[in-house]
Amino acid sequence: MKINHLLGVAVLALTLNACQQSTPQNEKAAISTDTLSMDDNYKAHLIPVDSANKMIGSYLSSLPADSQDSELQSLIMNAAVLREYLADTSIRNVKIMFAHTLDYINSGYEGQPAGYKSGALTIIFAGYDAKGDYIFAPGNMVPNHTVPCPNHCVGSGSAASSLLQ
């Protein structure tokens, strides 16, 4: 089944790329609050599409074959929400956190493992400034509204593919 990986691919690629950093086992790396700043070198923070596809393909291959229609493959988010939130120029970096959806929690599963169940997992975005302090949208809010794929996948265009084309 073809699926959309617009934002999910970016999040997965960034997450997997971050996980590839060599850090001694059993040692937590202390990252300065400003270490991940973009500077002026935007291109240094991008990866080639073939590398992204290799990373995505590895993740998708790791899912059990009998669960391809129920395991989370990507999360889709409205880009306008992120643009508006990131318009605050004091945001230097964005922390992307995995979370259970409120529907999952309110169905009686708070604190219980969800595995990779589509509809049970989401991501929370929280920008922070050069001092490491969170920056919230008006009303003490942060971007979250994502929809899971499978369940809400794009059905046409190149974004309907599992990989970047």
Structure tokens at 29: 């790396």
Strand blocks (E) in the chain: 74-77, 93-100, 121-128, 134-135, 146-149
Beta-bridge partner residues of 146: 77
Q: Summarize pLDDT for 107-133 with one digit per residue, the tens.
A: 999 999 998 888 898 889 999 999 999
Q: For the chain, what are the domain ranges?
A: 6-20+32-160
Enter the tokens of residue 8. 């999910």
Sign of the C-alpha dihedral, residues 158, 147, 49, 35?
positive
Task: Specify the residue for token string 């003490």.
Answer: 140
pTM, entire model: 0.69
- 51-109 pLDDT, tens digit per residue, is 888 888 898 888 887 776 778 888 888 899 999 999 999 999 999 998 999 999 999 99
